Amino acid sequence: AQSVSQHNHHVILSEAASLELGCNYSYGGTVNLFWYVQYPGQHLQLLLKYFSGDPLVKGIKGFEAEFIKSKFSFNLRKPSVQWSDTAEYFCAVNPYNNNDMRFGAGTRLTVKP
Amino acid sequence: DAGITQSPRHKVTETGTPVTLRCHQTENHRYMYWYRQDPGHGLRLIHYSYGVKDTDKGEVSDGYSVSRSKTEDFLLTLESATSSQTSVYFCAILQGSGANVLTFGAGSRLTVL
């Protein structure tokens, strides 16, 4: 069965630090890839998505992610985090032409002011 | 907002009792999903539906059943609740043809004593 691995359980950064959160998946075919964010007390919201084309995708709030097919990875990055980025981040994988969406265990990001 | 309403938002029940969670959508989306969210596990798919009376199991379907008698409602039932089913349950719908983007409801927090 396909799986999604997020390497970091909890990341703590100071404001203005750079962020990279890892995501790897095990599905071998064509996939759609997503990052969702869950701010404290809220439900999940889409941060960015990759379907095809340029492997570097940009999302909201200055986030970007790079799809590296050979490494089955879709890492999330942000050059300079803010206190308001404190949240839990989830990577998700959806096989192409399949509506089964699987999530990673999530990475909790704490940004210290 | 895709017009997703989950009810109840909070419920406390006792082991062995039946529980039904309701997800209601107002935009006629075909695909609907139930996930549970637990610390360290992220979101895990319980069941999903791809149309009226068409449902399929996810990765953690044991102990849960679902029904979809009309497009707008997707019910999740715990026939005999156990403490391991204490969780936050999220309903989601798949938006846009080919977009494969999930939009989530606000969640239902279930505590089984």
pLDDT digits (tens, 9 = 90+) for A78-88: 999 999 999 99
Whole-angstrom distance, CA of residue A78 vs CA of residue B51: 38
Mean pLDDT of the residues in chain A = 92
pLDDT of residue B80: 96
Q: Tell if the CB–CB gap between A99 and B94 is shorter than 8 Å.
A: yes
**Residue A58 confidence (pLDDT):** 95
CA-CA distance, A77 to A79, in Å (whole number)?
7
* C-alpha to C-alpha distances, A89 to A13, A16, A77, nearest whole angstrom: 14, 18, 11
Residue B7 backbone phi and psi in degrees, to 5 = -145, 145
Please report the number of interchain residue pairs, chain A to chain B, with beta-carbon separation below 8 angstroms: 54
**Measuring CA to CA, which residue among B90, B91, B34 is closest to residue B60?**
B34
Is pLDDT of A57 > 80? Answer: yes
Please identify which residue in the block is written with the tokens 């399929």. Answer: B56
Q: How confident is the model at residue A2 (pLDDT cuts 50, 70, 90)?
A: low
For the record, the structure tokens of A108 come out as 């909790």
Q: What 3-state class would DSSP assign to A52?
A: coil
Which residue in the set B43, B48, B106 is minimally distant from A103, CB to CB? B43
Q: What is the mean pLDDT of residues B23-51?
A: 92
* Cβ contacts of A31 on chain B, cutoff 8 Å: none
Phi and psi, residue B3, nearest 5° = 70, 45
Give the pLDDT band (50/70/90) at residue B2.
Answer: low
Residues of A in contact with B105 (CB under 8 A): 43
Contact B41 A94 (CB under 8 A): no
**Which of A91, A101, A105 lies closest to A34 in space, CA to CA?**
A91
Q: What is the mean pLDDT of residues B40-66?
A: 93
Question: For residue A62, is pLDDT > 60?
Answer: yes
**E strand or H helix at B25, and its extent?**
strand B19-25
Do the bridges between strand B10-13 and strand B65-70 make them parallel or antiparallel, or are there none, so unpaired? unpaired
| Contact with chain A for residue B12, Cβ under 8 A | no
Q: How far is A10 from chain B (nearest CA, A)?
A: 10
pLDDT digits (tens, 9 = 90+) for A11-54: 999 999 999 999 999 988 888 999 999 999 888 999 999 988 99
Q: Given an 8 Å threshold on Cβ–Cβ distance, is B35 in contact with A103?
A: yes
Q: How many CB atoms lie within 10 A of CB A71?
A: 10
